[in-house]
Structure 1
Amino acid sequence: MILLVLVVGSVGLLFYYDSKLHRTDALVSYAGRPADTPGTNWLIVGTDSRADLSDEQRAQLSTGDSDGSRTDTIMMVHKPPSGRAMIISIPRDLYVPIPGQGSHKINAAFNFGGPQLLAQTVEQLTEVRIDHYAEIGFGGFDRVVDAVGGVTICIDQPLNDPKAGLRLTKGCHDLNGRQALGLVRTRAFPNADLERVVNQRKFLNALMAKATSPSVLANPFRIIPFTNGAVDAVTVDQSDHIWNLVGLAFALRGDPVTTTTPTGGSEYTDDGDSLSVGANTEEFFSHIRSGTKVPDDLISSSGGVIGR
């Protein structure tokens, strides 16, 4: 009887949290949309939206005062039919055709047409069908990190970036939400965004590992605030559910392959300094859409300041 009550209660909580998720029409049908591709593919978007932050919170988190919402982070998570999951950073300076808008840096797609246009742009670039969508803004990221009790991160150089509110010495740190937000935002590197996306991937992996660890899952004082924080912070597609997010977290908790989308190198465009789509970009995504292993020479996981 007690077991039945626990099972019913757990299922009830699952559906309760599912009903509380923020949803948007991100993944819609359109002419020429790629057919289903092997495996499961997530589009994960970090935005610089400050809409839900008070002036005091903006100052505390060092987010600045810009209005509107732009994509600060674009990642694809690919779970192949077999083998390790992949976290793939798509550089925001990648110069691509945006449907109905001409060619621009890919992060402009979100500004032009929100999640729908960004998802369509990524699908048209990669010819990979996106199955799930998740978006998180500045206002939720720090709360999610704090809810799991922070994340231990080791860095191989000191970081001092007043714009991101970040001041860390070389070595290992137990980062709270404000510090973690600064770490994934900072561009204080010679290669700026290309270094930052490496840090973002490594931090996502570390956060998912912490969120699915026994110290969180078995502790109601951790798992309940984390779930509440995640539900408040994350926006998903209309067809997504809380169990999809749980599956994503467990897929990323181990040792995923992490890489940046290969490009044809730097080029100057109407949008300024950009990254071009190259033959290596097409070859890389041909393996993703066929569900085959990406060759090692197309994987770029080095860089960043976070150790493995």
Structure 2
Amino acid sequence: MASDQSGRPALGTATAPADGTSSRRNRRILVTAVAVLLGLVLAAAAAVYVVTESLGNNVSRIPGAFAGIEESARPAATDATTFLLVGTDSRSDEPTTGTDAAAGVNPGSQRSDVIMIARVAPDGTTASVTSIPRDSWVDIPGRGMNKINAAYAFGGAPLLIETIENLTGVRVDHFGIIDFAGFQQMVDSVGGIDVRVARATSNIGVDFHEGLNHLDGSQALAYVRQRYDLPGGDLDRAKRQQNALKSLLTKAGTTTSDPVGLYDLVDSTTRTVSIDDTLSNGALRDLALQWRGLRASGVTFTNAPVAGLGREGAQSVVYLDEQLAPQYWQAVREGTVAGYLAAHPDEALSTSPR
């Protein structure tokens, strides 16, 4: 199968340009598994009703995320909780997700840039996060074969959810989206994140040295958006995104002991994420209580199995591994991804992605 294969660390040795060039280039929305992060930080505050209630009001809801999906054709519901989390190719200068989003923004008018499935076990102590390459060549219901990121542009959240469920056999319970500005805010709200880099690289004016790097929000965005000068291109970029998420979750876990820091993190998270409208404040509070034992160490990160890269007409595409897929998605459904990775260690997220 083709694959893309002490002390405080120093801050990145270069900063993003101040002339706005970086901002203009970074218009593509970035996704992170916000649901897992939201569950962690709300779990720490779950005992204080007013916090979960008042900050829950900050969360922007997406109406009709599951509209028109035929129930009889969907995978069976389970006791686990699954979020589908995406980002889009928006070119907007203003926030397009969360409560600060401009009025009238239509998320479905853009292609999804990154797609992740976050699945939390019924007991709320373990979870898996799976990245699906945006260029994966799949069957989109009613549209035929196309890149999976086109599903969101064709039909918004409902069509992307239907496409994912048909591909994986995993039932999607909730849908969430965040833009690059929100990602930066969350990273800055925890004082930056620490990531390991396999070899020195640079992207849009930010240098990453080999080893441990401490990144603020703008530097973290440059880190997760890099694909050029990485051997696996977009596949390596997906691993960087997961690595950043893992670090963000770890940092969030340390922030929960600081009441002021906790409030800033929860406030930042709730203001920058948009979620489906089936998640009321009460439902968020229930998840917080259910997931109070979830820690970053209990979250497993990996990518959908890839067979190789190729072309369909003028498009560069990613071919998913049809032989490994049934075994992999069964592991996701059954909460045994860690066991799957023990048998396929090359598919696990490295501690130092390229």
Task: Give the alignment's TM-score, normalised by structure 1.
Answer: 0.81
Q: CA deviation at 1:50?
A: 4.4
| Counterpart AA for 1:151 | I
| Counterpart AA for 2:329 | F
The aligned residue for residue 56 of structure 2 is 18
The aligned residue for residue 152 of structure 2 is 110
Larger mean Cα displacement after TM superposition, 203-212 or 22-31: 22-31
1:215-259 CA deviation, whole Å, 9 max, x = no partner?
Answer: x22323322221221111101111125437756796351142221
Q: CA deviation at 1:9?
A: 9.5
Which of 274, 278, 283 is the aligned partner of 2:317? 274
Structure 2 unaligned segments of length 5 or more: list them.
Answer: 1-44, 96-108
Change (3 A) 1:38 1:23: same
The aligned residue for residue 178 of structure 1 is 218
1:116-155 CA deviation, whole Å, 9 max, x = no partner?
Answer: 2211111111111011222111121101110111112222
Change (3 A) 1:298 1:120: farther
The aligned residue for residue 66 of structure 2 is 27
Q: Is 1:119 the equivalent of 2:158? A: no
The CA distance in 1 between the partners of 2:206 and 2:308, in whole Å, is 30
Q: Is 1:217 the equivalent of 2:264? A: no
Change (3 A) 1:231 1:142: same
The CA distance in 2 between the partners of 1:260 and 1:249, in whole Å, is 26
Change (3 A) 1:33 1:52: farther
SS of structure 2 residue aligned to 1:180: helix
Q: Is 1:141 the equivalent of 2:178? A: no
Q: CA deviation at 1:301?
A: 1.8
Change (3 A) 1:50 1:243: farther
Q: Is 1:235 the equivalent of 2:282? A: no
The aligned residue for residue 301 of structure 2 is 258
Larger mean Cα displacement after TM superposition, 108-117 or 188-197: 108-117
The aligned residue for residue 208 of structure 1 is 249
Larger mean Cα displacement after TM superposition, 267-276 or 127-136: 267-276
SS of structure 1 residue aligned to 2:90: coil
The aligned residue for residue 140 of structure 2 is 98
1:13-46 CA deviation, whole Å, 9 max, x = no partner?
Answer: 2111112211113234622122213522121213
| Counterpart AA for 2:81 | T
The aligned residue for residue 196 of structure 2 is 154
Percent of paired sites with the same residue: 31
The CA distance in 2 between the partners of 1:186 and 1:9, in whole Å, is 40
The CA distance in 2 between the partners of 1:74 and 1:259, in whole Å, is 12
Q: Is 1:85 the equivalent of 2:124? A: no
| Counterpart AA for 1:110 | Y
The aligned residue for residue 57 of structure 1 is none
Q: CA deviation at 1:174?
A: 1.9
Task: Give the alignment's TM-score, normalised by structure 2.
Answer: 0.72
| Counterpart AA for 1:286 | Q
Q: Could you say which structure has the greater relative contact order, defined with CA pairs below 8 angstroms and 6 or more residues apart?
A: 2
1:20 and 1:231 in contact (8 A); partners too: yes
2:117 and 2:131 in contact (8 A); partners too: yes
The aligned residue for residue 34 of structure 2 is none
Larger mean Cα displacement after TM superposition, 245-254 or 38-47: 245-254
Aligned length: 284
1:153-175 CA deviation, whole Å, 9 max, x = no partner?
Answer: 2222112122xx43222232221
1:264 and 1:281 in contact (8 A); partners too: no
The CA distance in 1 between the partners of 2:314 and 2:50, in whole Å, is 50
| Counterpart AA for 1:264 | A
The CA distance in 1 between the partners of 2:239 and 2:276, in whole Å, is 26
1:86 and 1:256 in contact (8 A); partners too: yes
Q: Over the residues paired in the alignment, what is the CA RMSD in angstroms?
A: 2.8
Larger mean Cα displacement after TM superposition, 296-305 or 199-208: 296-305
The aligned residue for residue 226 of structure 1 is 265
The aligned residue for residue 69 of structure 1 is 110
| Counterpart AA for 1:226 | L
SS of structure 2 residue aligned to 1:49: coil
The CA distance in 2 between the partners of 1:228 and 1:248, in whole Å, is 19
The CA distance in 1 between the partners of 2:199 and 2:58, in whole Å, is 41
Change (3 A) 1:207 1:244: farther
1:263 and 1:275 in contact (8 A); partners too: yes
